[in-house]
Amino acid sequence: MKIKVYGYNHSPWVQAVLLGISEKKINYKLYQIPPLEVFKRWGVYMPAVSFNNEPWEIESTHILKKIGFEEINSNDLNAANAAWQGVLHRPDNPLTFFASFARGGQISNSLLKNVVSNFLLSFVAFYMFTLINIGKRRLDQQEPENFGDQFLYWEGVLHSSEGPFMDGENPGTRDFVIFGIVQCHASIPVPALDAILSDDRLRKFRSWILTMQERFNNYPYLYSANYFKSEARLPDNAGLLQTIVFFLGLIVMILLIPLTLPLVLFLMLRVQESRIKKF
């Protein structure tokens, strides 16, 4: 099976797909910039996956089902969405936000491909920065008294599991989705990460994170490994040159804001109208 994946590794849903593919030991090619076919249909919405050069498809839980995992039920999906609330804090510090995106840029054997990809990645980052800030204002969410409350559901799931993973003796869709959310929170530290690290009620959850890191110890996008020390591989870093390329791209996006901002808003509107994603 040949798999092509479009998506950026800060996204919990992209992470979920990549973790599932890695668990099945299937080779894949990752694109951080949407291929033209994807961009024309869904803009920069992610993840998108193509199996054996067939048409691209979206929605991570459906993709995971296609490679052999159980689909997540509605209660679990609602609990997963609740655990993702900390995402609204990602752009609190714009410099940290964009620098984190830059460090996670494409790494390949082709310098030219890296330069082009990381230059254009600045538009994806600009889109996400705008999307989250608009989402903050539209949602007008109240801060939870304790971000740890969002993970108590999953602490309970782990206590009731008959194995070390949420789905039993081997990781499944719930493990991939929630571990993806943990990677999202760790890629740009937010208050939810502090709760995961320190809340006394989440001891089983922290133990599970270490178990997942051991399972995926050579996975290249383990942002949690910076906070949960183990033998797991630390996340790859694009390096100084590609970081500079990214920020040059970001400067261009800002200079062209009369064009780039309307494009971002147009792409957001298309996603909303298609009911692909909503805040």
- Residue 247, domain member (yes or no): no
Q: What is each CA distance from 88 to 7, 136, 169, in whole angstroms?
A: 19, 6, 33
Residue-level pLDDT at 273? 56
- Residue 271, domain member (yes or no): no
Q: Which domain holds residue 214?
A: 74-226
What is the CATH classification number for the domain harbouring 163? 1.20.1050
- Residue 113, domain member (yes or no): yes
- Residue 27, domain member (yes or no): no
- Neighbouring CB atoms inside 10 A of 31's CB total 17
- Residue 254, domain member (yes or no): no
In the structure, what pLDDT confidence band is assigned to residue 274 with cuts at 50, 70 and 90? Answer: low
> Among candidates 98, 89, 80, which has minimal Cα distance to 192?
89
- Residue 98, domain member (yes or no): yes
Average pLDDT over residues 163-183: 97
Q: What's the mean pLDDT when you consider all of the chain?
A: 93
Split into its structural domains, the chain has a count of 1
9 neighbors 104 (Cβ within 8 angstroms) = yes
Which DSSP category does 165 fall into?
B
pLDDT at 275 over 50: no
Higher pLDDT residue, 276 or 133? Answer: 133
39 CB-contact burial (10 Å; exposed 0-12 / middle 13-18 / buried 19+) = middle
For β-strands 28-31 and 48-51, DSSP reports them as unpaired
- Residue 114, domain member (yes or no): yes
261's CB contacts (< 8 A; 6+ apart) are 130
Q: What six digits make up the tokens of 122?
A: 């600045």
Is pTM beyond 0.85? Reply is yes
